[in-house]
Amino acid sequence: MCLPGVGCTTVVGLDKPYHPIEDQGGGGGGGGGGGGGVETGRRCVGLPETCGPKEDESCCASELVVGGTFNRSNDPAFPATVSDFQLDRFEVTLGRFRAFVDAYPGSRPAPGAGEHPLVAGSGWDAEWEDRLPPDRAELLKGLFCDSEETAWAWTDEPGANERLPMNCVSWYMAFAFCAWDGGRLPTEAELGYAAAGGAEQRPYPWSTSGDDETLDRDHAVYACIGSDVAGCVIEDLPPVGSKSPQGDGLFKQADLAGGMWEWALDYHGDYPPECVDCAVTTGGTERVMRGGGWRSAAEALHLSTRDHRVPTTRTVGIGVRCAREP
C-alpha cells in the first residue's frame, strides 16, 4: 500500500494484482459550455429511481459528517482536522448521471464552480475546459471507457443499470457533475475522515473499533463478486448500497470501501503536515482516489491505502461521490 509521507507513485504490493484490471488509462454550480450561468442545485430530486438495500431511499440522499480530527491513513504522524460537511450516502448512480448527460453541454461548469468554501482556489479552472467533451455526442462516446474492457455501467437508454454506480468517469467529469449537482468533490481528508469514522480510526468504514479488521463480502463489493477476477462482467456489479447497513460507515455512507474507487479533489503527493480543512490543489499531475473498487484486491479497501491516476483516466473501476455544505 502507498505510505503517506514518501511520495510514492505506485501502491506497493497491489499494482500487479489489480492495476491491469482496474486501470489501463493515461493521462457549487454548473455553467453552459464555455462558462455560461446555468443554475445549480440538487438535480436528482424527483428522479424515478430509488436506492438502498430495500430500494426505498433517495439515490441523492446526503448525510452530515460531523467534523473533528483524525490521523490520515491511520498514521499519527499525519493528523488533520475537517469541518462539518455533507457527504452523499451513495456513489453517483447511472440514473443520476443520466440527468447530467441529458443537460450537456449546459451542465458544463463555470469558472470557480464546485469550490470548497474553505479551500482557496479549489473551484473549476477555465484552463480545464478542453478536458471536457465539446458536445453531448462526444460525451456519450466517452461513457463507454477508453480501454478494451466492456464492463461499463452506461446505456444510451434507461434500463436495468440505473441504480449501478456510474463508472468510466474522469476526474474532470466527476468534478463537473458534482458542481452541476450543487456540490463539489470531497477532499482526500474528508473521504478519509468519513471512512475512518473520524477519531474512531476504523480500518474499514464498518469496523466497530480501531482493532476490528473484519472484511468480507457481507460488508463490501470487491474482488468481483460471483466471478473470477479475470472474468468480471457488469452483471457482477450490484447496485449502490447493496451492502447497507452492515457495510455503512459511522456517518451512514454506503460503499466508502469497495464498489468504486472514488475521485478526491486533491493532487497526489506527500500528505501536508498537520492541517485544518486542507487539500493539495497545486503542484501535482495525478489526482487521488480512495476506497478500492469492485475489481480490487482486499488490501485496496483498507483505510491506509491511497491510489492515484492522471485526471483524464476513465476506467470501469472508478466512480464518484459528491460532498456538500451542511
Lowest mean pLDDT among 12-16, 33-37, 133-137, 308-312: 12-16
Contacts of 43 (CB under 8 A, 6+ apart): 60, 96, 99, 100, 103, 180, 181, 182
Lowest mean pLDDT among 2-6, 38-42, 247-251: 2-6
Check pLDDT > 60 for residue 34.
no
Helix axes 171-180, 94-103, angle to 10 degrees: 80
pLDDT tens-digit map of 262-273 = 999 999 999 988
Taking only Cα atoms into account, the Rg of the chain, rounded to an integer number of angstroms, comes to: 18
Q: 3-state DSSP call for residue 120?
A: coil
Third-level CATH fold of 15-41+63-324: paralog of FGE (formylglycine-generating enzyme) (3.90.1580)
Check pLDDT > 60 for residue 2.
no
Residue 102 is inside which H or E element, if any? helix 94-103
Closest CA to 259 of 219, 311, 212, 288: 219
Cα distance between residue 205 and residue 190, in whole Å: 13
| pLDDT mean across residues, the chain | 86
Mean pLDDT of the 3-20 span: 30
Q: Of all residues in the chain, what percent carry a pLDDT higher than 90?
A: 77
HEC string of 261-316? EEEEEEECCCCCCCEECCCCCCCCCCEEEECCCCCCCHHHHCCCCCEEECCCCCCC
Q: What is the reported pLDDT for 16?
A: 26
Grid cell 452483471 — which residue?
Answer: 235
pLDDT tens-digit map of 275-323 = 999 999 999 999 999 999 999 999 999 999 999 999 999 999 999 999 9
Decide which of 42 and 256 is more confident: 256
pLDDT tens-digit map of 172-217 = 999 999 999 999 999 999 999 999 999 999 999 999 999 999 999 9
